[in-house]
């Protein structure tokens, strides 16, 4: 029995694509306080950078080149030293330490930035008419500001102080 060359090519391409996808498969992103289901596909979509003018002048770095930069910034915004290793894992798994990562497939407008904070935390709702993060006073007025590394890490710290690692269930210790 001979194999149709076109069928063999399709099978080869499918196998390579499947293997490549498996190697680079995104991990589940979370951020919503009570996840109920996991979508069939998780993708991190890059977005345009939000201008830094939306944040108060600061001496903190405004760019993140790698995960070490993100961890150093987290230290500077007040994250507890004993939580930085876990935070590094969260940022790597959630966004690959990319400040502009945006998972549009998550509910409530998607998940934003380094720690993939779900829109639930910054959107007005029946319990928090101004939005939970806005009431906490962490300097986030709109979800788009979560693409700013400092704002994202301050917001993530407020969420962590409120809920521990539970909002990031995929990486909770």
The span from the CA of 15 to the CA of 34, in Å, is 36
Per-residue model confidence as pLDDT tens digits over 124-169: 988 999 999 999 999 899 999 999 999 999 999 999 999 999 999 7
pTM above 0.95, yes or no: no
Strand order in the sheet with 101-103: 45-46, 101-103, 111-112, 117-118
pLDDT at 149: 97
What is the largest distance, in Å, between two alpha-carbon atoms of the chain? 72
Per-residue model confidence as pLDDT tens digits over 65-105: 899 999 999 999 999 999 999 999 999 999 999 999 999 99
pLDDT at 64: 87
Domains and CATH numbers, the chain: 5-168 (1.10.530.10)
Higher pLDDT, 3 or 70: 70
Per-residue model confidence as pLDDT tens digits over 14-70: 443 343 333 333 333 344 333 333 333 334 433 333 333 333 334 455 578 899 999
- H/E stretch holding 57 reads none
pLDDT at 111: 96
Q: What's the burial of 109, exposed, middle or buried (CB within 10 Å: 0-12/13-18/19+)?
A: middle
């Amino acid at each position: 029995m001979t194999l149709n060359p076109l069928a063999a090519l399709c099978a080869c391409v499918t196998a390579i694509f499947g293997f490549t996808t498996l190697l680079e498969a995104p991990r589940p992103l979370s951020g919503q306080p009570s996840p109920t289901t996991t979508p069939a596909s998780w993708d991190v979509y890059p977005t345009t950078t939000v201008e830094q003018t939306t944040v108060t002048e600061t001496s903190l770095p405004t760019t993140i080149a790698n995960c070490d930069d993100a961890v150093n910034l987290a230290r500077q915004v007040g994250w507890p030293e004993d939580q930085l290793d876990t935070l590094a894992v969260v940022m790597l798994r959630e966004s690959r330490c990319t400040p502009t990562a945006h998972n549009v497939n998550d509910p409530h407008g998607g998940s934003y930035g380094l720690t993939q904070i779900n829109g639930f935390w910054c959107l007005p709702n029946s319990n928090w008419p101004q939005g939970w993060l806005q009431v906490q006073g962490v300097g986030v007025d709109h979800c788009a500001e979560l693409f700013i590394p400092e704002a994202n890490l301050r917001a993530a710290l407020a969420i962590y102080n409120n809920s521990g690692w539970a909002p990031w269930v995929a990486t909770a210790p």
